[in-house]
Homo-oligomer: A and B are copies of this chain.
Amino acid sequence: MITDFSQRLIVQEVSPRDGLQIEPTWVETADKIALINQLSLAGFSRIEAGSFVSPKAIPALRDGDEVFRSIARQPGVTYVALIPNLRGAQRAIEAGADELNLVMSASQTHNLANMRMRCEQSLAAFADVAALASGTSLSLNGSIATTFGCPFEGRIDEDRVLQIVDAYLALGMHGVTLADTTGMANPRQVFALVQRVLSRVPASALTLHFHNTRGLGLSNVLAAYEAGARRFDASLGGLGGCPFAPGASGNICTEDLVNLCDEMGIETGIDLPLLLRLSRGLPALLGHEMPGQVAKAGRNCDLHPAPENPPG
């Protein structure tokens, strides 16, 4: 284990997008905006606030235009939109997104299932988006879904991932995200791949996106941090599931990650008490419990009074 934990860990909030996208309960546009406005005060530098995909594919996020137009933007916060193609990019730009997050799967089968096109078609569409963004202040981030494993194909070869990283860089992407879409990564694998990717991409441009589907999300964060990664996606309350693992948890939980960092002395700049208040409001908004742990257990420093009469 490394002994130097002085490098800041940057937490990027994705609950408004990756968290809400598979929720069966419709969240009112005003509630989405209120959530993003609150999250904007918590110290995040980047919030993925919505997506511009087909409203038939993801009805839960069909109000992305209005959300982006209505949020109270805070200085220093980059508001990101996930987009699948040129049409989505145009909508996101019109709605005022600061950054476009383009996603393609490392797995051909997963890309066909998820994006309904082959990887080569995704890359061609990204080239169109890059041309559209060229000369503007828009930032482009390329996400690689199923980086560490695919529910259809299994383990993904490291070289395949590195080829996609190279393709993204050649397209002029400013950042790259390695996404463990269905929670198949393990810390040893993460450490090895992150080391290789960091020989191509600076740490300031690399994001790791883990899901906690098999309970390994925070362990994978630590492995990536040990390998030199500094930017991590996380979702308030651990919101966001996986259609292939009903009942299993989704994205790593923002407040659990911040609590881990606080306890280990890794600086994040995030306001944990505010996150806990927001997270504890999610069950009322969505009608179910959240997988996040610290919102239930409290922080270590939230001590209990000693029992006067020991239970018996």
Contact = CB atoms under 8 A, between A and B. Distances in A.
Interface string A214-240: 111011001100110000000000000
Contact of A188 (B1, B187, B191, B214): B1
A24 interface: no
A60 B194 CA distance: 47
Nearest to A302: B151
B245 A298 contact: yes
In the complex this chain forms, how many copies of it are found? 2
A263 B185 CA distance: 8
A94 interface: no
A254 to B, nearest CB: 11
Contacts of A256: 214-216
A92 B154 CA distance: 48
A215 B253 contact: yes
Interface string A284-312: 00000100111011101101111100111
B264 A310 contact: no
Given A112-B306, A214-B300, 5 more contacts: A113-B311, A186-B264, A215-B260, A245-B296, A247-B289
